[in-house]
Every structure is written in C-alpha cells, then in structure tokens.
Chains A and B, each alone.
Chain A
Amino acid sequence: MPDASHTPNAAPVETDVAIVGAGPVGLFAVFELGLLDMKCHLIDILDRPGGQCAELYPEKPIYDIPAVPICTGQELTDRLLEQIRPFNPTFSFSQQVEGLEKLADGRWRLDTDAGESVIAKVVVIAAGGGSFVPKKPPIAGIDAYEGGSVFYAVRRMEPFRGKRLVIVGGGDSALDWTLNLQPLAERLTLVHRRDDFRAAPDSVNRMRALAAEGTIDFRIGQVSRLVGSDGRLSHVLVKADDGAETEIACDALLPFFGLTMKLGPIANFGLNLHQNLIPVDTERFETSTPGIFAIGDINWYPGKLKLILSGFHEAALMAQAAFRIVFPEKKLRFQYTTSSTDLHNKLGVAEK
C-alpha cells in the first residue's frame, strides 16, 4: 500500500533474483541463493519481514525447525535475518506485486502497487498463503460502500476531518485510530462486541476516559446493517447482545478485524494454478513458466507438506536451478559451509 516512504516511479531495482514474499522461506532463499553469488530483492505486503510468523504467531512456539527444539515465530524471523545478513538483501515492504512481465532481454519486470519496479533474471514466488489483507465484515451490501464510506485502513487522516466516524474492533488498530482520529472527527463512535479489549491497556484507558467525558461514544455491540445511498453511508445499525438495534449516524465506517490471506494478483501472472496453489516440479521447484519458481506454502506437488522445513529444502534446490539461469556460463560447484573457504568468505567468517 502506498505511503510516504515510497518513491513512486523511481529507477527500477535491478537484481539477480526477485523474491515475492519475505516470510521464513523467502528469507532462507536469500541464504541459499547468496551462497551461489546471487543477489536478492524481496517484496512483501506486510510492513516487516516474517510473513505468517510475524503476523499470525510472533509469540507462539514452533517446535519443528530442525535442531531448534523451540522458538517463536518472531525468533525464527530474527534468526533468519541474522543468517542472511552477509548477503545484504534489499526489501520493499508494505506493497504488493501487481504485474509481472517478461522483458525483451529475457529478464522479468515486477511492478508493485506503490509504483516501484524490480528487474530480475529470476523470480521466486514465496508468497505463503497469499497476501495479508484486511478482513471484510460479511455485512449485506458492504461492497457498495467501499472506497466511499467504508475503509479498512487509514492512509491519510485529513479526509476524515469533520466526519461522523464509526470505528469497529477491539484491537490496537481500532483503539489507535479512535485516539488519533477523535480530534478531527465531527463525532466518533467506537463499536466493539464486548466491554473488554485486546488492545494495549494504555490505549484502552485513554479511550475510556474520552468516553467518560462524552468526547466520544463507546457502544457494545456489532454492526448489523448499513444504510445509505450512492455508495455513501448515512447511518449504521449496531445490534446489542439482547438483539436491540441502535442507529448511529455515520459518514465513514472503519472496521478493524485483523488480516486474512488472499492469493491476490499472483492469480493473474499467467501461471498454472491448482486450487489456488502453484504447481511445481520437485527437482527445481519451477512453475509452468521457466524462470519463475515457487517455494513454500504457495506451491503444490504430489506429497506436498506445508511445513517451514519443506520450504527450506525447496529453497536449496531452487537455488541450484536459478544459478543456471543467472550464470549460464558458469559451472556450479557444490560446496559445504563447514569446509569451503569460498563460502566462509561469502559468510564473512573466514579466518584472517
């Protein structure tokens, strides 16, 4: 998603390998590719590396990483980042690859929704379960109001000035935007299904103080109906636990229910798909399109297991095949990190 940190239409990033997805498998691919002298650029829709490990279970334990009896999703991410640091990967965060096109010189050009471009000799799709996007409440007719009155993220606060806002949710996003938008709004109502919150206690206390002094409204319930016309809301109905519905005047509704995974524009890359997964061979983990590989949870082959360790294995074999595309004139020499001085130099651990 575009934000001020991006520089749209800047010169494309040129690299050996473009990796779509900066989850654990995409990160480890940097290591395997790096050992074979290939430079990587990673693109991820999240604002940080780690993929599902960072978004879904940063604090949950993982027990099936070989030789690591227990680590959390965040620890795994941090260790992978440490492991790939010698290879200096570059990243584009908070954006999604929208277009993929083959150039006349045989390379690939990837364009993101933030206006960035990456040109690479090889593309590796390590997109896991797809892109993390905001959950859409299954309320009748909500589609018609999206963009006009229903927003799942706040890019700029100014458009909400002087508006009657209804924010829904009980997590940090809902509470943070309640606190941040309240001074601009004509009136702000926070709607949450219960009188208890997951959000940081400090934010909750501040919200409760604003509600107690009458600056904002806090309602316990769930949005049940949307009312308006021509894509503009006039009010929403909030249903309490006892079934009673209350009408709240509303120009803009902001639901914050966390993220869900969708395949997204990858579906339009012209690759064969098998139930929203990308079939690959199990020698190179290449897709139906030569030069485009798929590793980790996004790929499919007979016997596929969606395990991080499977993705690591796939990354190693993919790197061997990618080498032959990136360096067609070179002979691949298989080496071990334990014994190879060459690899020690690449890892920055050679004895001086």
Chain B
Amino acid sequence: MIRVIDREGAEHELETLDGWRVMEIIRDHGLPIKAECGGACSCATCHVYVDAAWLAKLHPPHDEETAMLDEAFDVRPNSRLSCQILYGPDLDGLTVTLAPEVG
C-alpha cells in the first residue's frame, strides 16, 4: 500500500504491485498525475513530495532525475519524480504528496 495526498489535501490509500513505478500506481488509480513521457524520466510531470519519514529509505535520485527536476516547479529537498521510484515490499506505507499541477 502507498498513501497519496492529492492537491486538495485528501489522502488516498492505494493498492500496490511489486515492481511497479510509484507513478504507475498513482496513474492506475486515476489520480491526477500527468506523467506525460510515460516513465522515461523526460518530462517532470510526475513530481511528488516524499514524506520525511520515507525519504532516507528510497534510493537517492540519479543525476538524470535531479536534472529533470529542473523542469518541475516548487522543487523541495524531498522532491522526486515518481516514475523513478520502484515499489517493493520495503516501501509498504510510503507516503507522497502530489506536487502542483503543471499549467
């Protein structure tokens, strides 16, 4: 399960599948995430904020993800592209907040 807080502040508990990208899980449940490039780390439209308690449990972003975050807005120290986070049992309970929608 992952917990996603949408842009209105509502919390959603989403069923997960091991090996899915967090972006794919969010998209599969119909929450509003653009993810335009489909997970190629090429568009920064799957930007999320990772809950502080979980940040250290994720593998750190690769250079490509950090560079792509330059095309996101309101980037914070806990910003990640959700297409670059692979879900596995160790992330059960992961909590992320959707970043502002790109206009």
Contacts and interface: CB of A to CB of B under 8 A. Distances in A.
Do they bind each other?
A: yes
Interface of A: 52, 56-57, 60, 129, 135-139, 169-171, 192-194, 196-198, 222, 241, 257-258, 260-261
**Chain A, interface SS category:** loop
Interface string B10-44: 00000000000000000000000010110010111
Nearest to A58: B42
A57 B70 CA distance: 16
B54 interface: no
Contacts of A197: 70
Nearest to B101: A138
B75 A260 contact: no
Given A136-B102, A222-B73, 14 more contacts: A52-B37, A56-B36, A56-B37, A56-B43, A138-B100, A138-B101, A192-B70, A194-B66, A194-B70, A257-B70, A257-B71, A257-B72, A260-B36, A261-B36
B73 A257 contact: yes
Contacts of B101: 138
A257 B103 CA distance: 11
B42 A56 contact: yes
B42 A137 contact: no
Contacts of B66: 194, 196
Q: Looking at A129, A139, A192, A257, which has the most chain B CB atoms within 10 Å of its CB?
A: A257
B48 to A, nearest CB: 15
B42 to A, nearest CB: 5
Interface in B34-69: 34, 36-37, 40, 42-45, 66-67, 69
A258 B67 CA distance: 12
B71 A171 contact: yes
Contact of A193 (B37, B42, B45, B70): B70
Contact of B44 (A136, A137, A258): A258
B70 A135 contact: no
A253 B103 CA distance: 16
Given A136-B103, A198-B67, A258 B43 contact: yes
